[in-house]
Amino acid sequence: MKLTAFLLICSILQVSARGFAQKITLSEREASPEKIFTRIEQQTGYKFVYTETFLKNARPVTVHLKNASLDEVLAICLKDMPYTWSMLNNLVVIKEKAAENAPPTPPVQDITGTILDDKGNAIAGATIAVKGTRQNAVSGTDGGFSFKGLREDAVLVISFTGYQTKEIAIRGKHELTVRLEISVRALNEIVVVAYGTVRKRDLTGSVSQVKPAEITSYPANNVINALQGRAAGVQVQQNNGAPGGSISVRIRGTNSILGGNEPLYVVDGFPYPKNPTFIQPGDIESVEILKDASSIALYGSRGANGVIMITTRNGHKGGKTQVDLSSGYTVQSPMKKIKLMNAGEYAQFYNLQAADDNLSPYFTQQQIDSLSKGPSTNWQDLVMHDAPMYTNNITVSGGDDKTQYSLSGGLFSQNGIIRNSIFNRYTLRGNLNHEISKIFSVSYNIYLTRSDGRNQNSGGSNRGADLISGMLEAPPTLSPYLANGSYRRLNTAYPFISNTIVNPLVTLNTISDKFKADNVFSNAALTIKPIKDLSIRISGGIYNSNNRTDTYTAIEPSTNSVGSATVGTNQVTSLLNENVATYNKTFGEHHLSVTAGYTFQNYVETTLSGSGTGFLSDISQTGNLSAASIPGIPNTSYQKWVLLSLIGRLNYSYSDKYFATLSFRRDGSSRYAPDNKWSNFPSAAIAWRIYNEKFLKDAKWISDLKLRASYGATGSTAIDPYATLNQLSSGNTIFGDNPYITYAPGTTLPGNLKWETTNQFDAGLDAAFLGGRLRLAADVYLKKTNNLLNRVQLPVSMGYTTTLRNVGQVQNKGLELAAEADVFKGAVNWTVGANISFNRNKVLKLYQGQDIYGNTIYTGNLNDYVNILRQGKPMGMFYGYKETGYTATGDIQYADLNKDGKISADDKTFLGNPNANFLYGFNSVVSYKGFELTVFLQGTQGNDIFNLNKTSTLDLGMGLNVPREEFYDHWTPTNTHAKYPKISRSISGNMSSRFVENGSYLRFRNIQLAYNLPVKKWAPEWWRSAQLYVSGQNLITITKYSWYDPDVNTYGSANSITTGIDYFTYPTYKSVTVGLRCGF
């Protein structure tokens, strides 16, 4: 309103104040008038006044002027536009020309023209519309078009995909040549970085951005899952296929032995201590992955593994309320089933074993015949099924200049492909920004999540003792139920059968492992802009989670279960306070931005658990632990850490060509020994935007080029709280018939520990070609982690088994490439994106050169570690015995590498590498009219998997079912080059080369066909958009891996030593989704 009044005054006064003596120097390319005006304001002190319509009609301008007058600058800015300007005191008023002179009836005329691209080539198919009318035309193959009878003041709007839309007033001309400028959309995007945002083109560090469309392109139960294959240098591995199952993320390789290797997650500025599974993919505005030292330096001691910044949706200005709705229904099914022996084969197989071991046959020929003819029990079919998954999300957002808001609600429900497993998540989110005055503004967001469900998983057991090993190893000859309807007991079914095998249906149906979790995640901030260019943000955040697990094993005679209940609770509260000031200043060609602040975060975790065994009835389940005949000892725990930090960053740029960033964080952590609590994490980065250099001014084929380099240090809080203190643990023992409390040190000897530090060098290049239709980013990096916290083994005779020391060094180096191209533009649009990353990992130094072993895995017949860390080798290499074939009697022959005539631990060697040579992702989007076809591929190359599922093939004294191929291809005196040794219960099995398989794969992660309904044509005006889609996930996987899925990591977790193993893992699924996305 104010503005209208003001304009009125201006036009009445008709003040002309042209010719001011102020001189202006400007060098801008494709800058918006708004920006140019700001520059002029900075240099002259003039203020500009203009309408929004002007901004909408304005187009970017390129100006290179030195000591020019305001007149000259504005002439360029307003060139070819129906606007003029006038001056009032210090105010420059931009107004429509029409207001100055409006001829009553403008004359009518004809016009012809040609549309050219920035290189002067004709553009065919461009749309030329006459503004304010229904008239339009399309340019021909020569780029030509023509209109008849246009008004003299008509304005033509010329648009063509991939180019900036241009408006031209014809002003009585009869011939026009229009050059369209390429729109370099990607380079003007804003990316979120530590404590701020930056234009992508101004970045000095290495940051990958993943867009919401990619995150929501298929139903993923976890935001992080959706990042798989999307960004170079980011490895996302699904540890198993369970609903709500965990995943491991590694950015640029594995740095730490003892500490976590998971990146730091920062959700709306809040460093979140875990993997943020509570976030709905639909609520995400953007995900940025900070990879190099300069980008992550402001997260100091927690940045070494990279940082994933998650920003949730904001409201928007403009007054219009938007409602977005999406809904999907998915059917999941097992990717494949393992080919195991059927009943007849099983009986013959174990008769072969009996024969080999000089025992009388277990099955008579008559039994074999009847088993061969009769039905086999397919335990995989009984345990797994096709399962539904639902995703529903609604978002309401809107706002005006002062207040913006976004509200959303979501429901995610996934039934697992293993029966009786389910994961539900209900979310409510609100986000509010309000400008109180020019100085103060506030923002608030809150995220409430409830998740609950029921787990079914491998208990890490063997010989059929848990669900998954039972499903794979239970005899196909036995039906699950007895004639009276009760469960069949498997471990006494045959004399030769495993004494621990459990009917998998008993595990499936009688063990109820339920969880529920409530998360509150809330953040409020006050922003103060006391003076020009200075902004101070004071924020406070709370993260609170309450979890409870209820596990009940029902009374079941066939497993000797008398009912056992366990209840566990876990409460986490983390408080965050951040006080950050940012100062921006531009003087001439120099731009300076300084950020400084002070932050505090704490984290308190308490747990409480109770248990009991022996119930009279299943009715109370976990509802009445005091009814247990054997009460468990209740347990509680308490843990707290505090992190205090000072942060500082200085960004400097000159003339949009030269950029430099210096960052610094000083962290104080409660976790470390008193003299080592504080540490500094500095970094520096430079970038050179060559594109803006004069010598590239005429290179039409190039549309952006920038070189970057950075170096810096970041840390990892690799140790748990209290690890440096000499604490006693309590325990129990019995005297008489009563329990007594004991106190003694644990098995880890405390050490005087300091920070683990990662130094990283990164050099990168960002480029765009062919008018931005081809965009590339490349990075090379070298990371070294020093003072590596290492669990140093002690001789066990000390009574301690390990201590912690800061010794060791690990190196990661790699190359990342990402490319995006708009292959076709026009009626058919085709965009492809691809990324590939190579990482090489090497352990440089370990304590006294001692090897570090992964967890010992007990399979019943084998009991050894699989992974090893050795100096000079990549982390987690598979280490064991190398097979060379078979002995004369059909047993496995191992290589006697030290030639001492016997096979012992000294004969172990490297068997494989769980680290991939490279990871890649490829995305293609083709759209034509309303249709859109998306194909997303993703894969790894060169990694090995240790397939321990196959230990049963050497464990033949236990009556376990085995892969069918063993029955048909085992050693016999006439088949000495068989895949499997003789069928005997005395095979000398070891963790050997037999289990190492090629884990490379190429997966069609998602194939989607979407149709955008032409709602504009038939729906009411309030209906913005509607999309129907059908998609398939994981439908095709190309791999040589023999088990369920190569995307597996049974022992995957923050720790990276025991890795690359597949052992009785919840299988992953493939799925088909139909869904609807609507906007109102």
Partner 1 sequence: MKIKILLPIILLLGLGSCKKTLEEHPKSIAAEDFYNTPAEVESGLDAIYSPLRDPNNLGAIYQTQLECYADYMYGRGSHAVLNNYQGLDNTNITRVGTIWQLFYQSIRNANIIIQKTPLAKSVADTAKSRYIAEARFMRGLGYFFLVRNWAGVPLRTEANMDSINLKRSTAQDVYAQIVSDLTFAETNLPNAPRLIGAPSKWSAKTVLADVYMNMGLYSNARDEALAVIQSGNFSLVNVGIVSDFDKLYGADVVNSTEEIFYLKFARAPAGQGNYYPMYAFYPNSGYYPPGGYYTFYSDSVNNGVLSTWDRKDLRYSYNWYGQTFGLGNTTVLNKKYVDKQAVTAAGNDYPMYRYADLLLLYAEAEMRVNNGPDADAMEKLNMVHRRAYGKDPLTANPTVDFALADYASADTFLTLVVKERGYEDCSEGKRWLDLKRLGIVKRVILAVKGITVADKHLLWPIPTTEYNYNKAINPATDQNPGY
- Site residues for partner 1, window 588-627 (CB under 8 A)? 598, 600, 611-614
Binder of partner 1 out of 86, 421, 559, 787 (CB under 8 A): 559
- Binders of partner 1 among residues 475 to 494 (CB under 8 A) are 489, 491-492, 494
- Provide the 3-class DSSP secondary structure of residue 74: helix
CA distance 288 to 307: 8
Question: Is the Cβ of residue 418 or residue 628 nearer to partner 1 in the bound state?
Answer: 628
CA torsion angle 975 977 980 981 (round to 10)? 70
Total site size for partner 1, rule CB under 8 A: 90
Residue 979 falls in which region: left (phi positive, over 0), alpha (psi -120 to 50) or beta: alpha
Binder of partner 1 out of 112, 146, 188, 629 (CB under 8 A): 629
- Provide the 3-class DSSP secondary structure of residue 1005: strand
Binder of partner 1 out of 98, 436, 482, 744 (CB under 8 A): 744
- Binders of partner 1 among residues 333 to 362 (CB under 8 A) are 362
- Binders of partner 1 among residues 834 to 853 (CB under 8 A) are 850
The least CB distance from residue 790 to partner 1, in Å, is: 13
The least CB distance from residue 582 to partner 1, in Å, is: 12
The least CB distance from residue 135 to partner 1, in Å, is: 57
Q: Which amino acid is at 833?
A: G
- Provide the 3-class DSSP secondary structure of residue 1009: strand
Q: 942-961 mask for partner 1 (x: CB under 8 A)?
A: ---------------xx---
Binder of partner 1 out of 21, 619, 741, 888 (CB under 8 A): 741
Tell whether residue 583 is a contact of partner 1 (CB under 8 A): no
Region of 62-70, 300-308, 637-645, 933-941 interacting with partner 1 (CB under 8 A)? 637-645
Which spans in 148-274 are helix H? Answer: 212-215
The least CB distance from residue 637 to partner 1, in Å, is: 8
Nearest to 475 by CA among 486, 487, 464: 464
**Contact by Cβ (8 Å): 814, 798:** no
Question: Is the Cβ of residue 233 or residue 860 nearer to partner 1 in the bound state?
Answer: 860
Question: Is the Cβ of residue 814 or residue 860 nearer to partner 1 in the bound state?
Answer: 860
Q: 982-1021 mask for partner 1 (x: CB under 8 A)?
A: ----x-x-x-------------------------------
Element (H, E) at 37: helix 33-44
- Binders of partner 1 among residues 746 to 805 (CB under 8 A) are 747, 793-801
Can you read off the two tokens belonging to residue 380? 């995989």
Q: Which amino acid is at 55?
A: L
- Binders of partner 1 among residues 676 to 695 (CB under 8 A) are 677
The least CB distance from residue 737 to partner 1, in Å, is: 5
CA distance 372 to 364: 12
The least CB distance from residue 343 to partner 1, in Å, is: 19
Tell whether residue 140 is a contact of partner 1 (CB under 8 A): no
Question: Is the Cβ of residue 735 or residue 1018 nearer to partner 1 in the bound state?
Answer: 735
Q: Which amino acid is at 959?
A: G
Region of 51-59, 474-482, 560-568, 866-874 interacting with partner 1 (CB under 8 A)? 560-568
Question: Is the Cβ of residue 62 or residue 629 nearer to partner 1 in the bound state?
Answer: 629
The least CB distance from residue 418 to partner 1, in Å, is: 25
Question: Is the Cβ of residue 362 or residue 658 nearer to partner 1 in the bound state?
Answer: 362
The least CB distance from residue 627 to partner 1, in Å, is: 13
The least CB distance from residue 521 to partner 1, in Å, is: 23
Could you say which DSSP state residue 567 is in? E
Binder of partner 1 out of 52, 401, 737, 1021 (CB under 8 A): 737
What residues form DSSP beta bridges with 922? 834, 937
- Binders of partner 1 among residues 646 to 665 (CB under 8 A) are 646
CA distance 67 to 4: 33
Binder of partner 1 out of 742, 884, 898, 917 (CB under 8 A): 742
Binder of partner 1 out of 495, 849, 901, 1020 (CB under 8 A): 495
Binder of partner 1 out of 668, 826, 930, 1079 (CB under 8 A): 668
The least CB distance from residue 892 to partner 1, in Å, is: 13
The least CB distance from residue 645 to partner 1, in Å, is: 10
Question: Is the Cβ of residue 679 or residue 1068 nearer to partner 1 in the bound state?
Answer: 679
Q: Which residues have a Cβ under 8 Å from the Cβ of 866 and sit 6 or more positions away?
A: 854, 857, 878, 879, 880, 946, 948, 991, 1058, 1061
Binder of partner 1 out of 5, 12, 619, 725 (CB under 8 A): 725
**Contact by Cβ (8 Å): 612, 564:** yes
CA torsion angle 608 613 615 621 (round to 10)? 40
- Binders of partner 1 among residues 355 to 394 (CB under 8 A) are 362
Sheet of strand 91-96: strand arrangement: 47-49, 91-96, 83-88
Binder of partner 1 out of 140, 212, 361, 631 (CB under 8 A): 631
- Binders of partner 1 among residues 513 to 552 (CB under 8 A) are 528, 530-531, 534, 536
The least CB distance from residue 671 to partner 1, in Å, is: 8
Nearest to 807 by CA among 864, 760, 754: 754
The least CB distance from residue 734 to partner 1, in Å, is: 4
Nearest to 846 by CA among 125, 418, 321, 258: 258
- Binders of partner 1 among residues 420 to 479 (CB under 8 A) are none
Which regions of 808-943 does DSSP assign to beta strands (E)? Answer: 809-824, 828-845, 852-853, 856-858, 863-865, 867-869, 877-880, 883-886, 892-894, 909-912, 918-928, 931-941
Region of 404-412, 496-504, 871-879, 995-1003 interacting with partner 1 (CB under 8 A)? 496-504
Burial track 231-248 (b if 16+ CB lie within 10 A, e otherwise): bbbbbbbbbbbbbbbbbb
Question: Is the Cβ of residue 80 or residue 900 nearer to partner 1 in the bound state?
Answer: 900
**Distances in Å between the alpha carbon of 266 and those of 16, 311, 442, 666, 940?**
53, 8, 20, 18, 27
The least CB distance from residue 771 to partner 1, in Å, is: 46
What is the number of other CB atoms lying within 10 angstroms of the CB of residue 769? 16
Region of 68-76, 725-733, 924-932, 1021-1029 interacting with partner 1 (CB under 8 A)? 725-733
CA torsion angle 791 795 801 803 (round to 10)? -40
**Contact by Cβ (8 Å): 1063, 468:** no
Question: Is the Cβ of residue 365 or residue 637 nearer to partner 1 in the bound state?
Answer: 637
Strands 91-96 vs 47-49: parallel, antiparallel or unpaired: parallel
DSSP conformation letters of 77-96: HTTTSSEEEEEETTEEEEEE
Q: Which long-range contacts (CB under 8 A, 24 or more apart) does 729-737 make?
A: 732/633
- Binders of partner 1 among residues 856 to 885 (CB under 8 A) are 856, 860-864
Which regions of 124-218 does DSSP assign to beta strands (E)? Answer: 127-130, 136-138, 144-151, 155-159, 166-169, 175-179, 190-193, 196-199, 207-210
CA distance 763 to 710: 6
Question: Is the Cβ of residue 359 or residue 782 nearer to partner 1 in the bound state?
Answer: 359
Can you read off the two tokens belonging to residue 894? 């191992």
- Binders of partner 1 among residues 10 to 69 (CB under 8 A) are none
The least CB distance from residue 577 to partner 1, in Å, is: 8
Tell whether residue 302 is a contact of partner 1 (CB under 8 A): no
CA distance 971 to 980: 6
